[in-house]
Chain A
């Protein structure tokens, strides 16, 4: 009896040893060069919440080419519905209470209206202007509660400004098509018929 077990054990050991020798031969050292993630260094505004600078479309810049005290379109403080030039903008923000010059600087369209300190706001800091009306949301956004941030949870973040997600002229978030639903678990045909 004992000899039988011994033989079995020896057979098992032999096979395992053969496996070991095979593995040693094939254990080639593989180079562990991971894909070096090269991030494109875009110029950013050096503000509290740095964001990549987004140049305005060529057709409407510089604003001062048309807008200004002595230019073709002098400042007109009367609220108008139909615009001659910016026809792609249909203002749908704050009902009839708001219009262009409630946010845009009347004398220098390259900037936004100033805060109470009198300093004009740049377009990269538009969140300051948004915060004038939407104070609670602005404070939440500053703390990272409202809105989205990507990048690193303990390091450099990519900030999304208010206007990245909400078109300032039409700020309501647009509905979107959902991704497909999960597959239903398999059910027998007779059960399917009952439902």
Chain B
């Protein structure tokens, strides 16, 4: 209806009465088909479209990952591998493994055990190819005074000789993989969504960089590439996933994916593997015998900012 109405109202260029400027140009180009200036302007605009966007035409016409066919995904992966080979000089694996059957990932963190050593932060940076400069770290380790739970009073810049410090406790915060995720609702282009196994992912090629999701997230779980990410070629992780740790570009949002490239093939996330005190637990919420299910059943758990009804799948617990 709306389309019809607008065409009837006569706003299309064909029905519009010509302005003075256009009248003059028509007079000029009566003899020729097209004058030189118009042609140059047109060609420059088309070329500029490719030059300014700094992406290949395949990237430009690429579809949303959820709507791609199998062939399109294969072609895209092939293109990405070629791009990364050129940039980093290494052969990359860009996985596209789908969610496993009867799996809903959950995470638990024992804040009584955490000693705030930040080993998880740097293991995550290495595993997930995060930019070293400007610095992006998916995990923030908050330090609280004993007896205080106000996030406003916490700090992430503590730097003592040794941890744990007396009179403080530590609480790492990362993407909480909410079941009712506000970040995915606000995305105007559906570049971020929740997978069937509960992982909130971003299609970096579809992201337009509006950062609405960052504004919507109450946990500051998302990061924006304000500049071209810088990763030393020798420390890049070449085992990647399309929705996970493949190298990102400028102007896209990225976030923790529970190491999707690892957990979809059965491995623990990198932060779980590296934690020296074993405070981090990961598993399948739908399996009643998994570690995470036993923790939720038997231990005192809480979820960060549960009053917001985001329903995180990231639980904090007290083991004793």
Contact = CB atoms under 8 A, between A and B. Distances in A.
A175 B81 CA distance: 43
9 contacts: A2-B14, A11-B39, A23-B56, A34-B239, A35-B238, A140-B319, A145-B294, A148-B277, A152-B266
B266 A153 contact: yes
B91 A178 contact: no
A106 B284 CA distance: 45
Contacts of B65: none
Contacts of A140: 319
Interface string B107-133: 000000001111101100000000000
A3 B107 CA distance: 62
Interface stretch (B41-49, B205-213, B243-251): B41-49
B156 interface: yes
Range, interface on chain B: 35 or more
Given A19-B57, A178-B116, A4 B34 contact: yes
Interface of A: 1-4, 7-8, 11-12, 15-16, 19-20, 23, 26-35, 136-137, 140, 143-155, 160, 165, 173, 175-184
A7 B275 contact: no
A155 B161 CA distance: 38
B281 interface: yes
A20 B168 CA distance: 60
B179 interface: no
B278 A152 contact: no
Given A16-B57, A145-B281, A146-B278, A34 B93 contact: yes
Q: Which 3 residue pairs spanning A and B have beta carbons closest together?
A: A148-B278, A144-B291, A179-B118
Contacts of B58: 23
B78 A27 contact: yes
B22 interface: yes
